[in-house]
Chain A
């Protein structure tokens, strides 16, 4: 936590308010090509709204949001068996964003998918807003777990998956953890439990952007060999390009794995993707764009 985390750096009144088009799920019967195009458009809209929200709030985590957005839209607009009408259905698929600091990306994805009124996004981090800097399940119906402190979401997801196993249910639990987050020991406690209990309907997605707040992960407390470690804990390990919607939807469709093991997806991503001056740049963990940077980023999103 630095002082930049706490003090708004821009005048919110000077920021244009955008609205967001609700795209909803990939239509039933869509071809793979159409599905990928739908997800790409959703990701573009989400990134556009996300960066504007962070600019308006003067706070946020653009780097880790832009690395995870393609994963989020693929889950909410295609992979997850859930809908705004299904939130009370015990058989819905569950999604938990363990790296809760990417909240703006989650809120924006929920809005584009129809779970959250787009107008609410403009309240992000404002007084009394339901849209905390980190997601809260008591404030937003579609949020399954309150997260923020790292290392919480995966144990919760293990419990959710365990409940599904006790019920002999087909429902699945997906959880996204940051790669730096895996330095928290609670994750490895949970992975041991998941592997030993063969929680086949659990899918752990690692947003492998290789950067954490202060430096590169491998210069802080390295995770490699990550795939070997996850496999040793009993996971079915899959590597995927975390910005490739087609590859992501294939990987998510394969959960549960035939082996009966929980799935661990190492999603290779870039922090700040695809903005030229943010991508793979540790400075953009929680930097807020200047007006010129915002203009350039929005222009790049139109052509990416």
Chain B
């Protein structure tokens, strides 16, 4: 596949629209589907669900531990709960419930992390969720999905509804262009090669995929052939795609809207014992972000086409 970077004027889409449209479709098909929220109806764009299925929306108020525990109980009672809340509160406040009630218990719960990463940029680090990928990838039995556009968001939500095991899905509110090819079908543990390349590999996830494609375009202008892999699941990773990239290109740049111990750490852990690989990590380093819009913060941390291209050139130069 050789899809090239979307043009700068590509339309941007809020992935929450795909989330709610898909959820309402699924709920119409399957009466077991219920939603649990912490006063997060508006921020989760759940209005259409609330209008269509008012009885199936459980609002526990601002109480995240209760929210995830209630989700587990609903699963025990035969329901398929989607627990939807701002990613920062859902993950940090209810971490033990995610570990025990969802993952250790292997309940089919879909945890939907809204406005993740630095989407709430100006509100400050209390409202950023840059730790979630690093935290959740350590929990056994939990699938961690980071969709890159509206198509993949819809696919991931649909897959999660039938997963039969606990799932965490990030849903981005920051506008992103369509990046997935026509007819794309999400599969956990399956990377998507969006741009062929032989010099260096960029492994990106979520909102950063379109930026990685732009970087590949500018690298091509400089005569560097960059492979772009979209990695929609941090857990499980696509091991074979990573090994192939490690063998066939000079090294790997990981890119995420998160602490680099999320996707970056996961890829490094995977490759170190199997095929040690030159790597660079693009994301948020070990720091709390300063104040700024999400766009400004992405550029500030080099999670930008220019920053990604620079990291790729470092890998190539070290060859």
Contact = CB atoms under 8 A, between A and B. Distances in A.
A185 B74 contact: no
Contact of B61 (A90, A157, A192): A192
B101 interface: yes
Nearest to B76: A160
Nearest to A137: B105
A25 to B, nearest CB: 23
Nearest to A186: B65
A164 interface: yes
A189 B60 contact: yes
A154 B97 CA distance: 12
Contacts of B77: 90, 94, 159-164, 166-167
A189 B100 contact: no
A152 interface: yes
Interface in A135-183: 136-138, 144-149, 151-152, 154-164, 166-167, 173
Contact of B73 (A147, A148, A149, A163): A163
Q: Which of A154, A158, A159 has the most chain B CB within a 10 Å cutoff? A: A159
Counting chain B residues whose Cβ lies within 8 A of the other chain, the interface size class is: 20 to 34
Contacts of B101: 145-146, 152, 155-156
A261 B33 CA distance: 26
A193 interface: yes
A144 B56 contact: no
A166 B69 contact: no
Contacts of B55: 166
A75 interface: no
B100 A159 contact: no
A162 B69 CA distance: 12
B269 interface: no
Contacts of B100: 146-149, 152
Contacts of A155: 65-66, 68-70, 72-73, 97, 101
Contacts of B63: 186, 189, 192-193
A190 interface: yes
B23 interface: no
Interface string A55-92: 00000000000000000000000000000000000100
B117 interface: no
A166 B76 contact: no
Nearest to B77: A163
B245 interface: no
A163 B76 contact: yes
Given A146-B101, A166-B55, A156 B61 contact: no
B76 A145 contact: yes
B104 A162 contact: no
A158 B66 contact: yes
Given A94-B76, A149-B100, A152-B100, A162 B65 contact: no
Nearest to B103: A146
A126 to B, nearest CB: 20
A157 B97 CA distance: 13
Given A90-B78, A156-B101, A163-B79, A193 B73 contact: no
Interface in B152-174: none
Nearest to B34: A166
Interface in B218-241: none
A138 B105 contact: yes
A147 B72 CA distance: 12
Q: Sorted from nearest, which 4 A-B pairs have the closest CB atoms? A: A159-B73, A163-B77, A155-B69, A189-B66
25 contacts: A136-B105, A137-B105, A137-B106, A145-B101, A146-B100, A154-B69, A155-B97, A155-B101, A156-B76, A159-B36, A159-B70, A159-B72, A159-B73, A162-B58, A162-B73, A162-B74, A162-B77, A164-B77, A166-B34, A166-B55, A166-B56, A186-B65, A186-B66, A186-B69, A189-B61
Given A173-B73, A189-B65, 4 more contacts: A145-B101, A155-B73, A158-B66, A186-B66
